[in-house]
Amino acid sequence: MAPLPALITRENFKSFLESFDTVLTDCDGVLWHEDRLIGQAHVTLNTLQALGKKVFFVTNNSTKSRDDYVEKCGRLGFKATKEDILSSAYVLAQYLKQQGFQKKVYVMGMGGIVKELQAEGIQSTGGEPEVYDGGSLSTLMDKMKLDPDVGAVACGFDPYLSYLKVMRAASYLERPGCLFLATNTDERFPVASKGLVYPGTGCVVRCVETVAERPATVMGKPSTKMFSVIQEKNSLDPKRTLMIGDRCNTDILFGKNCGLQTLVVLSGVTTQADLEKWAASDDPEQHALLADYCLTQLDDLLAFLDPKQEQC
């Protein structure tokens, strides 16, 4: 058994607020669902920023570039510059740059990865549909042209997932020294429609890992790489940094791996029933998923925050 995350209330709010200087917040399921704000999430973050807290947006979602996220944040009422945004696609490009990677990347994913690679001067191929429309697979294989310059495969969220793309990715991965990177392995996106499941990047990555018979190096949460990238330009004190997220096996685990404080919101993937199940179990792996604090949704803080409050 382990303690449940502490609900933030009027009683503990002041000490909670004074315990951190920086906020790292996940986006999908915390701030927005697709293009819809979750309550007054923007007012909440803007108020924290007005109080002197620094806010970073950390997302495993690789479909957009950081420029795209700046645009989205602005449109939804958040205050963010490019430097405040850490996306898994950006971290992937930084990783390759640090490796001194000089070859081409085969992208099994969307524009976000392609753009972030371009921004670092790294060439890529793929990032587009490749559909099987019947006929002999071995004939298709005889005709399949592989780019000789590819030295890495990058998997991200890919609604154009197809058997032929998996074949292509796995074939590149047979090359000695070919890098195998993934933006993240989230199993699902939070979704509003009852009875429907919205597959996440995890299914693309596990699909390719199965054929390649080796694991991908994962850039996104819960890996600590995003925090390392932040720390290249900042000197955050982990103990005075708060990670806010909706998914415990990525966001909260990331926070703990980096030594941060953690807050789970129940407006996305995680439910109260999940928290109670993990707390009641005897499994240390389930205990590791329990955040320090919880809220039903982020803007519950507004009840305790005074938007006009002086910086403290």
In angstroms, the CA 96 to CA 243 distance is 26
Is 138 a binder of its own copies (CB under 8 A)? yes
- Distance CA(288)–CA(240), nearest Å, equals 20
Nearest distance from C-beta of residue 212 to its own copies, angstroms: 8
The nearest distance, CB 205 to its own copies, in angstroms, is 8
Binding its own copies (rule: CB under 8 A), the pick from 1, 75, 131, 284 is: 131
Q: Does 243 bind its own copies (CB under 8 A)?
A: no
Residue-wise burial string across 88-127, b where 16 or more C-beta atoms lie within 10 A, e elsewhere: bbbbbbbbbeeeebebbbbbbbbbbbbbbbebeebebbbb
Sign of the C-alpha dihedral, residues 233, 234, 235, 236? negative
Assigned token pair, 198: 């919205």
Is 72 within any annotated ligand binding site? no
Residue 221 counted as an annotated binding residue: yes
CA distance linking residue 150 with residue 161, whole number of Å: 19
Contact assessment for residue 62 and residue 184, using Cβ atoms and an 8 Å cutoff: yes
Site string for its own copies, 21-60 (x = CB under 8 A): -------------x--------------------------
213 in contact with its own copies (CB under 8 A) = yes
> Is 282 a residue of the active site?
no
Catalytic annotation present for 142: no
Query: How many other CB atoms sit within 10 Å of the CB of residue 299?
Result: 22
* By the rule CB under 8 A, 200 interacts with its own copies: yes
* Beta carbon of residue 155, minimum distance to its own copies (angstroms, whole number): 12
Instruction: Report the candidate in 171, 175, 70, 169 with the shortest Cα–Cα distance to residue 124.
Output: 169
d(CA 148, CA 152): 11
35 among annotated binding-site residues:
no
By CB under 8 A, is residue 7 in contact with its own copies? no
Toward its own copies, which CB reaches closer, 139 or 311? Answer: 139
Please report whether residue 141 would count as binding its own copies according to CB under 8 A. yes
Determine, following the binding rule CB under 8 A, whether residue 197 of this chain makes contact with its own copies. yes
Stretch that binds its own copies, among 50-58, 76-84, 188-196, 233-241 (CB under 8 A): 188-196
Q: Between 154 and 166, whose beta carbon lies closer to its own copies?
A: 166
Residue 298 CB: number of other CB atoms within 10 A?
24
Residue among 70, 167, 219, 290 that touches its own copies (CB under 8 A): 167
Catalytic residue among 21, 26, 35, 158: 26
One of 21, 28, 68, 84 is an active-site residue; which one? 28
Contact 241, 226 (CB under 8 A): no
The verdict on 283 binding its own copies (CB under 8 A) reads no
- Which of 160, 238, 286, 302 is the binder for its own copies (CB under 8 A)? 160
Contact between 192 and 33 under an 8 Å Cβ cutoff? The reply is: yes
207 near its own copies (CB under 8 A):
yes
Complete edge-to-edge strand list for the sheet that includes strand 217-218? 124-126, 104-108, 150-155, 179-182, 217-218
133 is in an annotated binding site: no
Question: Which residues are known to be catalytic?
Answer: 26, 28
- Residues in contact with its own copies by CB under 8 A are 34, 129, 131-133, 137-138, 141-142, 144, 146, 158-164, 166-167, 170-171, 173-175, 187-188, 191, 193, 195-200, 202-204, 206-213
